[in-house]
Amino acid sequence: MPILKLQRTTLILFISAILLGSFVYFYEIKGAPQREAAKSTKQPIFAFEEDEIQSVIIYTDDETLQFDRFSNPELGWQMKKPKNTLANDAAVSFLLNLLAKGESDRTISATADKLKEYGLDQPSATIEVELEGEKVYKLALGKPDFNESFLYAQVDPSKQKSEELSVLLVPIDFKYAINRPMSEWEESKEDTEDSEESTTDEESLDTEKESSDTEE
């Protein structure tokens, strides 16, 4: 009886070793090329630099937001729609960085009748970017993927042929970058007051210096 039990244990260990070896073989050896291929599918969403962006418009069902860069880079960004006011540079810069540096996790080939599955038949938002030289690009955002790590998206959807559409998986951060309350898009009053005080102090110092130079 003990011999049979020993044989059974040995057989179980032998089978376990085979299964473990098979797993290691297929994961480490066979699976390596596929994993490398999956990594290599990551591509930049756009091929422009952040400082090339002159204007950004966000279209949603609820509202349209437009931000224009001041001609003097030190002044940052101005909101043109729905209000005409100074913009919160941090909020705008977060979106610009995603547009310029963001990568697509992978690309899916689809036909027009499949767009509804990705939420791209009626995008939740469309971001329009204007660069220097009046070059315009658009990014349409759809639904999140199954584990909400990425968003389905299309680059310049109107320029794609309906029989060979490309759907991208882009960072979920785009969702957070555009879904902000209006108060986060506007420059806060405290920042504005600090800026005005700083400007006033600098002007005061310049005046004192000019007065001192005159007296000498």
Averaged pLDDT for residues 55-84: 94
Identify the bridge partners of residue 108 per DSSP, sorted by sequence position. 167
Sign of CA dihedral 203, 205, 211, 216: negative
Highest mean pLDDT pick, 29-43, 117-131, 190-204: 117-131
Residue 198 — very low, low, confident or very high, per pLDDT cuts 50/70/90?
A: very low
The mean pLDDT of 69-82, rounded to a whole number, is 92
- Residue 180 phi/psi, 5-degree rounding, is -125, 150
Q: How many CB atoms lie within 10 A of CB 21?
A: 10
pLDDT recorded at residue 57: 98
**Is pLDDT above 90 for 10?**
no
pLDDT category at 188 given cuts 50, 70, 90 is confident
pLDDT in tens, 84-117: 999 999 999 999 999 999 999 999 999 898 999 9
